[in-house]
Amino acid sequence: MQITAVDGLGAEITGVDIKNLSDAEFRTIQEAFAEHGVIFFRGQDTSEDDHIAFAERFGDININRFFAAHPDYPQIALVAKEADQKDNIGGGWHTDHSYDHEPALGSVLVARELPQSGGDTMFASMYKAYETLPDALKEKVEGRSALHSGKHIFGEGPDSYYNTSDAGSHDDGTNRIGNSDAAEKLTDPEHPIVIKHPLSGKKALYVNPAFTREVVGMDKVESDELLSDLFTHVFTGHGFHHRFKWEPGSIAMWDNRSTWHWALNDYQGQRRIMHRITIEGCPLEA
């Protein structure tokens, strides 16, 4: 097995078949995952059962509450966009499940049907985002927490993504995002803005533009300004971004605590079907 770091963040792992990993090989993959934040495999021939078995080696599977499930495998969430749909899932920088009290460890995404061109996924390193944060911003976030929520995305509000995009499941049969009732019942958690990563022990910046709503204990103007400065730092941190080009047989597995990702929506008129399994995480500490 070879582990090769790629530009920006992440590592490509070659010379393995994820269906047949010895315990020693699996441990090496786990270590690479903790160190690099995102790992990539190419040319894997995996069934849905293989995908589930690989993900289960990392922990319990989180059954997605908002995305349509694979008709035969509830553990697999469909990240799907049909040719006649305009909006995609994950089409902006985010990390999955920060709206949960115990945010997911990570997700394993398998390409099932790809557009002829486009549909790459961007990743950003939140380890490097923290390391390169200017001292003045480090001081501002020291000891602070932020409030996260998924209601404005998955909930009933008139401006929610569920209601304003064609990804929402209304009466037109698209059925990609649903269960807005469950979103309304979420109790919004607070997480430290700088976490000690549960696997690596390294510091990572833990806010994201999709789900982080406000800095606790600041007035709205001050909070909006600080979050905007933090997000801009990551948006413009091209040295710690990686653009992953999918091929048939590609798999990406990212750590939700140390990375952001963004599914580019630049393939209008074409279909893109991905299978995602998300793994349960733990509470986050500073």
Catalytic residues: 94, 96, 261, 276
* 276 is a site residue for ligand SIN (CB under 6 A): yes
* Shortest CB 217 distance to ligand SIN, Å: 30
* 89 is a site residue for ligand SIN (CB under 6 A): yes
Determine what percent of the chain falls in helix, strand and coil, rounding each to the nearest 5: 25, 25, 50
* Shortest CB 261 distance to ligand SIN, Å: 6
**Site residue total, ligand SIN (CB under 6 A):** 10
By beta-carbon distance, which residue lies closest to ligand SIN? 90
Number of H-type helices and E-type strands within the chain: 8, 16
Of 144 and 148, CB closest to ligand SIN:
148
How far from the centroid of its chain's Cα atoms is residue 225's Cα?
24
Number of Cβ atoms within 10 Å of the Cβ of 106: 29
Considering only 11, 16, 263, 277, the residue that binds ligand SIN (CB under 6 A) is 263
* 274 is a site residue for ligand SIN (CB under 6 A): yes
Residue 7 to residue 5: CA distance in whole angstroms: 7
Read off the amino acid at residue 196.
K
Residue 100-139 contact track with ligand SIN, rule CB under 6 A, x = bound: -------x-x-----------x------------------
Q: Is the distance from CB of 277 to CB of 133 less than 8 angstroms?
A: no
* 13 is a site residue for ligand SIN (CB under 6 A): no
Q: Is the distance from CB of 105 to CB of 281 less than 8 angstroms?
A: yes
* Shortest CB 253 distance to ligand SIN, Å: 11
The b-or-e profile of 62-90 (16+ CB within 10 A means b, else e) is: bebbbbbebeebebbbbbbbeeebebbbb
* 64 is a site residue for ligand SIN (CB under 6 A): no
* Residue 170: both structure tokens together: 């209304």
Considering only 76, 79, 124, 129, the residue that binds ligand SIN (CB under 6 A) is 79
Residues that bind ligand SIN (CB under 6 A): 79, 89-90, 107, 109, 121, 261, 263, 274, 276
